[in-house]
Amino acid sequence: MIIFNEIKLLFMMVALLLTNCGMAQDSRPNILVVLCDDLGYNDVGFNGSKDIKTPELDKLAHGGTIFTSAYVAHPFCGPSRSAILTGRYPHFTGTAYNLFQNSSEEDEDNMGVPIEETFMSKILQEAGYYTSAVGKWHLGAAPKFHPNKRGFDNFYGFLGGGHDYFPEKYRKVYQEQVNAGNKNIRDYLLPLEHNGKPAEESEYLTDAFSREAIRDIKTATENKKPFFVYLAYNAPHVPLQAKSEDLKKFENIKDTDRRTYAAMVYAVDRGVGQIVKTLKETNQYENTLIVFMSDNGGNTDHGADNYPLKGTKGDTWEGGYRVPMFFHWPKKIKGSQFFDFPVSALDLYPTFVQLAKTKVSNDKKLDGKDIMAGVLAGTDSYKNQMIYSLRYREGYSDVGGRQGDWKITRMANEPWGLFNIKEDIGEKKNLSGKFPERLEKMVSETEKWTKDFVRPLWYYSVKDQEYWNDGRMPRYEETFEISKLVTHPNKN
């Protein structure tokens, strides 16, 4: 009996050792996505900013690969985030307009990204990752669209499109609204939540979100699981609100909006530095892929700078949807690399799936590409295939399309423009008259892309909905009509 017990104990010890070794030897990387809100192309040091200091982000960027031609799928927050997490252009999923207010029980059937669309978080969760969403959601507030229902084990943040930053201030206004019997309290004032329950927050929101990301990293480490943390800061989105100690660092900036904006970006940088410290302390740093980017271009009316790009948030000029971005992964990616070929935020989904050594179902469509091999080799994963953007306005659409070194743009219902975007990043010299065949071919390809678009599930305003109901939208045939292709050919 003694010998039997000793043998049994030995087998148990060996089994435990093998299990622990298996966990320790999981070669799959952790994935940390750091998403800023309305961050300008020129508002981080690694992209050339002179007045906003981002030392922590710069260390990571220069220690990895900086993408100089990274695009999101839409120049506005909600549709862009929908594309990131579904891997699909929002026009294919009915999510091409911003959700303008948290939805209620009455309209929960369509006021959120369709539940038929599997989020990348769900794929990673099923592959054994600890999954966490921190910060801004903006993808549906009704229960069935909640982050915990979309593949996130943990959620801490807010469900709407924006929020005030100082709890001691917004709590007071919120309570006043409640006491007054207001049933439609602005999203920006609502309490934060943790997995569906109100959270008693006391810190400046950017700091709170950094804190929660750190907590999730420690939780995953303790549970010996790889993690996927989707850290969606609302900074530097309006309202422009910054901590006094951060503002002091930018006293040399005279413009008030720019100074506050800079301090908000610095708070993100400071938080990322704390997160990196935690990654090192938990021995997760070397095998963590950190992806940093913005959800769309900077809002130049509120402190942002997209230089040298033309345009602002909401545009299909480069400044609307070309964003700062880098990959940092010490175990795999060499430092001091620049990747000049175009890439899309849509590429994150298939890239992460491959890194997690899992797969999607046969009926799940993805519009991006697994770009990791191309990033490591310095080769173009798109090979002159197009990356698109289209924004619905009132009665017409703005459109952009990138193919290799070339870009087509149609803005504000004006005629099409063609630009060699590698030589003319500011879209100043319209070459449509000089290369009409190239323009026509790229516009034709873009029109084909719209053939499977679906009608939006919601609209940003009542007026937008009226345009669709009475046939004044989408009017693709007018957007892409031949007579709009070239104007003043002899003057380009």
Tell which residue, 198, 187, 117, 118, has the closest CA to residue 159. 187
- Pairwise CA distance, residues 39 & 300, whole Å: 10
User: Cβ atoms within 10 A of the Cβ of 259, count?
Assistant: 23
* Confidence at residue 482, expressed as pLDDT on a 0 to 100 scale: 64
pLDDT in tens, 128-140: 999 999 999 999 9
What percent of the chain is predicted at pLDDT more than 70? 91
pLDDT at 55 over 80: yes
Least confidently predicted of 101-115, 260-274, 283-297, 307-321: 101-115
User: Cβ atoms within 10 A of the Cβ of 140, count?
Assistant: 28
pLDDT at 491 over 70: no
Determine the residue type at 436.
P
The band of 384, judged by pLDDT with boundaries at 50, 70 and 90, is confident
- Pairwise CA distance, residues 2 & 56, whole Å: 59
* Confidence at residue 490, expressed as pLDDT on a 0 to 100 scale: 41
pLDDT, average across residues 401-424: 96
Phi-psi region of 224 (alpha: psi -120 to 50; beta: other; left: phi over 0): left
* Confidence at residue 303, expressed as pLDDT on a 0 to 100 scale: 98
pLDDT, average across residues 182-198: 95
How far is the first Cα of the chain from the last one, in angstroms, to the nearest whole number? 94
pLDDT, average across residues 73-93: 98
pLDDT at 366 over 60: yes
pLDDT at 492 over 50: no
- Residues paired with 36 in a beta bridge: 294
Do 156 and 134 contact (CB within 8 A), yes or no? Answer: yes
pLDDT, average across residues 101-110: 60
Find out if CATH 3.30.1120.10 is the number for domain 387-491: yes
Q: Does this chain's domain 29-377 share its CATH topology with 387-491? A: no
* Confidence at residue 10, expressed as pLDDT on a 0 to 100 scale: 47
Burial of 125 (0-12, 13-18, 19+ CB in 10 A): middle
* Confidence at residue 486, expressed as pLDDT on a 0 to 100 scale: 52
Mean pLDDT estimate for the chain? 93
pLDDT in tens, 3-43: 445 544 444 454 444 444 444 457 899 999 999 999 999 99
Q: Which residues of 389-412 are buried (b: 16+ CB within 10 A; e: fewer)?
A: bbbbeeebbbbbbbbbbbbbbbbe
pLDDT, average across residues 325-332: 98
pLDDT in tens, 217-246: 999 999 999 999 999 999 999 999 999 999
pLDDT, average across residues 180-191: 94
* Confidence at residue 14, expressed as pLDDT on a 0 to 100 scale: 41
pLDDT at 2 over 90: no
Domain 29-377 homologous superfamily, CATH: Alkaline Phosphatase, subunit A (3.40.720.10)
pLDDT at 116 over 50: yes
Q: Where are the domains of the chain?
A: 29-377, 387-491
Q: Of all residues in the chain, what percent are helix, strand and coil, respectively (each to 5)?
A: 40, 15, 45
* Confidence at residue 6, expressed as pLDDT on a 0 to 100 scale: 52
* Confidence at residue 22, expressed as pLDDT on a 0 to 100 scale: 40
Tell which residue, 294, 295, 313, 316, has the closest CA to residue 303. 313
- 308 preceded by a cis bond (ω within 30 of 0): yes
pLDDT, average across residues 344-361: 98
* Confidence at residue 198, expressed as pLDDT on a 0 to 100 scale: 97
pLDDT at 197 over 60: yes
pLDDT at 166 over 70: yes
pLDDT, average across residues 175-197: 95
* Confidence at residue 483, expressed as pLDDT on a 0 to 100 scale: 67
* Confidence at residue 108, expressed as pLDDT on a 0 to 100 scale: 63
Active site residues: 77, 138
pLDDT in tens, 269-284: 999 999 999 999 999 9
